[in-house]
Protein backbone atom coordinates (compact mmCIF):
# COMPACT_ATOMS: atom_id res chain seq x y z
CA UNK A 1 0.00 0.00 0.00
CA UNK A 2 2.75 2.58 0.83
CA UNK A 3 4.49 1.77 -2.47
CA UNK A 4 1.40 2.52 -4.54
CA UNK A 5 0.68 5.57 -2.34
CA UNK A 6 4.13 7.11 -2.84
CA UNK A 7 4.94 6.03 -6.41
CA UNK A 8 1.58 5.55 -8.09
CA UNK A 9 0.40 2.50 -9.98
CA UNK A 10 2.44 2.94 -13.16
CA UNK A 11 5.81 3.55 -11.46
CA UNK A 12 5.52 0.68 -8.95
CA UNK A 13 7.11 -2.56 -10.13
CA UNK A 14 6.14 -6.12 -9.19
CA UNK A 15 9.71 -6.66 -7.99
CA UNK A 16 9.28 -3.80 -5.51
CA UNK A 17 5.91 -5.17 -4.43
CA UNK A 18 7.33 -8.65 -3.84
CA UNK A 19 10.23 -7.21 -1.87
CA UNK A 20 7.85 -5.16 0.30
CA UNK A 21 5.80 -8.31 0.99
CA UNK A 22 8.99 -10.29 1.63
CA UNK A 23 8.07 -12.90 -0.99
CA UNK A 24 9.31 -13.82 -4.46
CA UNK A 25 7.69 -12.45 -7.61
CA UNK A 26 6.43 -15.93 -8.62
CA UNK A 27 4.76 -16.34 -5.23
CA UNK A 28 3.19 -12.90 -5.57
CA UNK A 29 1.70 -13.96 -8.91
CA UNK A 30 0.29 -17.13 -7.32
CA UNK A 31 -1.93 -14.90 -5.14
CA UNK A 32 -2.53 -12.09 -7.65
CA UNK A 33 -2.56 -12.78 -11.41
CA UNK A 34 -1.39 -9.24 -12.19
CA UNK A 35 -0.27 -5.97 -10.68
CA UNK A 36 -3.71 -4.60 -11.57
CA UNK A 37 -5.38 -7.31 -9.47
CA UNK A 38 -3.23 -6.47 -6.45
CA UNK A 39 -3.91 -2.75 -6.88
CA UNK A 40 -7.64 -3.40 -7.07
CA UNK A 41 -7.50 -5.45 -3.86
CA UNK A 42 -5.68 -2.63 -2.08
CA UNK A 43 -8.19 -0.08 -3.35
CA UNK A 44 -11.11 -2.17 -2.10
CA UNK A 45 -9.45 -2.61 1.29
CA UNK A 46 -8.95 1.16 1.65
CA UNK A 47 -12.55 1.85 0.74
CA UNK A 48 -14.26 -0.77 2.87
CA UNK A 49 -12.44 -0.68 6.22
CA UNK A 50 -14.91 0.16 8.98
CA UNK A 51 -14.69 3.25 11.18
CA UNK A 52 -16.39 3.07 14.62
CA UNK A 53 -16.79 6.86 14.79
CA UNK A 54 -18.66 6.95 11.47
CA UNK A 55 -20.89 4.08 12.57
CA UNK A 56 -21.76 5.94 15.78
CA UNK A 57 -22.42 9.20 13.95
CA UNK A 58 -24.70 7.44 11.47
CA UNK A 59 -27.05 6.54 14.34
CA UNK A 60 -27.51 10.14 15.55
CA UNK A 61 -30.67 12.03 14.52
CA UNK A 62 -30.39 14.49 11.62
CA UNK A 63 -29.85 17.88 13.26
CA UNK A 64 -27.57 20.91 13.40
CA UNK A 65 -25.70 19.39 16.35
CA UNK A 66 -25.04 16.19 14.38
CA UNK A 67 -23.87 18.22 11.36
CA UNK A 68 -21.32 19.97 13.56
CA UNK A 69 -20.10 16.61 14.87
CA UNK A 70 -19.83 15.18 11.35
CA UNK A 71 -17.93 18.23 10.10
CA UNK A 72 -15.64 18.21 13.12
CA UNK A 73 -14.90 14.53 12.61
CA UNK A 74 -14.13 15.11 8.93
CA UNK A 75 -11.90 18.14 9.55
CA UNK A 76 -10.02 16.64 12.48
CA UNK A 77 -9.50 13.28 10.77
CA UNK A 78 -7.96 14.87 7.70
CA UNK A 79 -6.13 17.85 9.17
CA UNK A 80 -4.72 16.12 12.25
CA UNK A 81 -4.02 12.91 10.31
CA UNK A 82 -6.23 10.50 12.21
CA UNK A 83 -6.79 7.09 10.63
CA UNK A 84 -9.76 6.45 8.33
CA UNK A 85 -10.79 2.98 9.39
CA UNK A 86 -7.57 0.94 9.37
CA UNK A 87 -5.71 3.14 6.89
CA UNK A 88 -3.70 6.29 7.64
CA UNK A 89 -5.00 9.53 6.16
CA UNK A 90 -1.65 10.20 4.45
CA UNK A 91 -1.89 6.88 2.62
CA UNK A 92 -5.46 7.60 1.52
CA UNK A 93 -4.49 10.96 0.11
CA UNK A 94 -1.35 9.82 -1.64
CA UNK A 95 -3.34 7.03 -3.29
CA UNK A 96 -6.04 9.56 -4.17
CA UNK A 97 -3.60 12.05 -5.70
CA UNK A 98 -1.85 9.37 -7.74
CA UNK A 99 -5.24 8.12 -8.91
CA UNK A 100 -6.25 11.60 -10.06
CA UNK A 101 -2.99 11.87 -12.00
CA UNK A 102 -3.75 8.55 -13.70
CA UNK A 103 -7.28 7.35 -14.54
CA UNK A 104 -9.16 8.40 -11.39
CA UNK A 105 -10.48 4.89 -10.67
CA UNK A 106 -9.46 4.81 -7.01
CA UNK A 107 -10.69 8.37 -6.43
CA UNK A 108 -14.14 7.45 -7.75
CA UNK A 109 -14.16 4.20 -5.77
CA UNK A 110 -13.19 5.98 -2.56
CA UNK A 111 -15.92 8.57 -3.00
CA UNK A 112 -18.59 5.99 -3.84
CA UNK A 113 -17.74 3.51 -1.06
CA UNK A 114 -16.73 5.86 1.75
CA UNK A 115 -17.60 9.51 1.33
CA UNK A 116 -20.94 9.25 -0.53
CA UNK A 117 -22.66 7.78 2.53
CA UNK A 118 -21.00 10.29 4.83
CA UNK A 119 -21.95 13.11 2.45
CA UNK A 120 -25.57 11.96 2.36
CA UNK A 121 -25.67 12.03 6.16
CA UNK A 122 -24.29 15.59 6.22
CA UNK A 123 -26.88 16.62 3.61
CA UNK A 124 -29.74 15.30 5.75
CA UNK A 125 -28.39 17.20 8.76
CA UNK A 126 -27.96 20.42 6.77
CA UNK A 127 -31.54 20.14 5.53
CA UNK A 128 -32.65 19.69 9.14
CA UNK A 129 -30.64 22.77 10.15
CA UNK A 130 -32.30 24.82 7.39
CA UNK A 131 -35.73 23.62 8.50
CA UNK A 132 -34.89 24.59 12.08
CA UNK A 133 -33.82 28.10 11.03
CA UNK A 134 -30.21 27.44 12.05
CA UNK A 135 -28.89 27.54 8.47
CA UNK A 136 -29.84 29.68 5.51
CA UNK A 137 -30.80 28.74 1.99
CA UNK A 138 -28.32 29.76 -0.70
CA UNK A 139 -27.57 29.57 -4.40
CA UNK A 140 -25.44 26.43 -3.94
CA UNK A 141 -27.28 23.13 -3.55
CA UNK A 142 -27.23 21.36 -0.21
CA UNK A 143 -25.22 18.51 -1.74
CA UNK A 144 -22.55 20.79 -3.15
CA UNK A 145 -22.26 22.81 0.05
CA UNK A 146 -21.38 19.58 1.84
CA UNK A 147 -18.93 18.56 -0.89
CA UNK A 148 -17.26 21.98 -0.77
CA UNK A 149 -16.78 21.56 2.99
CA UNK A 150 -15.10 18.23 2.31
CA UNK A 151 -12.86 19.86 -0.32
CA UNK A 152 -11.65 22.42 2.23
CA UNK A 153 -10.64 19.62 4.61
CA UNK A 154 -9.11 17.54 1.83
CA UNK A 155 -6.98 20.34 0.41
CA UNK A 156 -5.72 21.31 3.87
CA UNK A 157 -4.69 17.68 4.32
CA UNK A 158 -2.86 17.74 0.98
CA UNK A 159 -0.98 20.92 1.96
CA UNK A 160 0.27 19.08 5.05
CA UNK A 161 1.50 15.95 3.24
CA UNK A 162 5.11 17.19 2.84
CA UNK A 163 7.36 17.15 5.91
CA UNK A 164 7.43 20.95 5.59
CA UNK A 165 3.90 22.24 5.07
CA UNK A 166 3.40 23.64 1.56
CA UNK A 167 1.61 26.75 2.86
CA UNK A 168 2.41 28.57 6.09
CA UNK A 169 -0.97 29.18 7.70
CA UNK A 170 0.74 31.07 10.54
CA UNK A 171 -1.09 29.22 13.28
CA UNK A 172 -0.83 25.96 15.20
CA UNK A 173 -2.57 22.93 13.71
CA UNK A 174 -5.25 22.86 16.44
CA UNK A 175 -6.16 26.51 15.83
CA UNK A 176 -6.11 25.92 12.08
CA UNK A 177 -8.66 23.16 12.68
CA UNK A 178 -10.92 25.62 14.53
CA UNK A 179 -10.62 28.23 11.78
CA UNK A 180 -11.24 25.72 9.00
CA UNK A 181 -14.22 24.25 10.82
CA UNK A 182 -15.78 27.68 11.33
CA UNK A 183 -15.18 28.46 7.64
CA UNK A 184 -16.82 25.19 6.55
CA UNK A 185 -19.83 25.60 8.84
CA UNK A 186 -20.41 29.17 7.67
CA UNK A 187 -19.90 28.10 4.07
CA UNK A 188 -22.58 25.45 4.43
CA UNK A 189 -24.91 28.17 5.66
CA UNK A 190 -25.00 27.81 9.45
CA UNK A 191 -25.75 31.03 11.29
CA UNK A 192 -23.34 32.57 13.76
CA UNK A 193 -25.81 31.78 16.54
CA UNK A 194 -26.04 28.12 15.50
CA UNK A 195 -22.25 27.78 15.47
CA UNK A 196 -22.01 29.45 18.89
CA UNK A 197 -24.66 27.08 20.22
CA UNK A 198 -23.39 23.79 18.81
CA UNK A 199 -19.65 24.19 18.26
CA UNK A 200 -17.91 23.41 21.56
CA UNK A 201 -14.36 22.11 20.86
CA UNK A 202 -13.72 20.55 24.31
CA UNK A 203 -17.07 18.75 24.21
CA UNK A 204 -16.39 17.50 20.69
CA UNK A 205 -12.95 16.21 21.66
CA UNK A 206 -14.55 14.34 24.55
CA UNK A 207 -17.23 12.88 22.27
CA UNK A 208 -14.57 11.26 20.08
CA UNK A 209 -12.13 10.42 22.87
CA UNK A 210 -12.85 6.68 22.89
CA UNK A 211 -12.48 6.22 19.11
CA UNK A 212 -9.30 8.31 18.84
CA UNK A 213 -7.43 6.96 21.86
For the chain, domain boundaries: 1-48, 50-85+99-212
Tell me: the pLDDT tens digits for 133-160? Answer: 999 998 899 999 999 999 999 899 889 8
Q: Looking at domain 1-48, which of 1.10.3720.10, 3.30.1050.10, 1.10.10.60, 1.10.1240.10 is its CATH number?
A: 1.10.10.60
φ, ψ at 62 (rounded to 5°)? -70, 120
Tell me: the pLDDT tens digits for 57-69? Answer: 889 999 999 999 9
**pTM, rounded to two decimals:** 0.81
CA 106, 39, 153, 168: dihedral to nearest 10 degrees? Answer: -130
d(CA 116, CA 107): 12
Per-residue pLDDT, 67: 97
d(CA 160, CA 67): 25
Instruction: Tell me how far CA of residue 107 lies from CA of 91, 97, 115, 146, in angstroms.
Output: 13, 8, 10, 18
Helix axes 142-159, 89-101, angle to 10 degrees: 100
d(CA 116, CA 110): 9
Amino acid sequence: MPLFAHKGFAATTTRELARAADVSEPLLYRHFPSKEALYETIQNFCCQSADPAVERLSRLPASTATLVQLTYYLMRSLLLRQTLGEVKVDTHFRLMLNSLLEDGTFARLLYRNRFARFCARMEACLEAAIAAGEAVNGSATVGNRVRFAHHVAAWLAVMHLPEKTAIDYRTARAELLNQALWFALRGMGLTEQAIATHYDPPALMQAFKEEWN
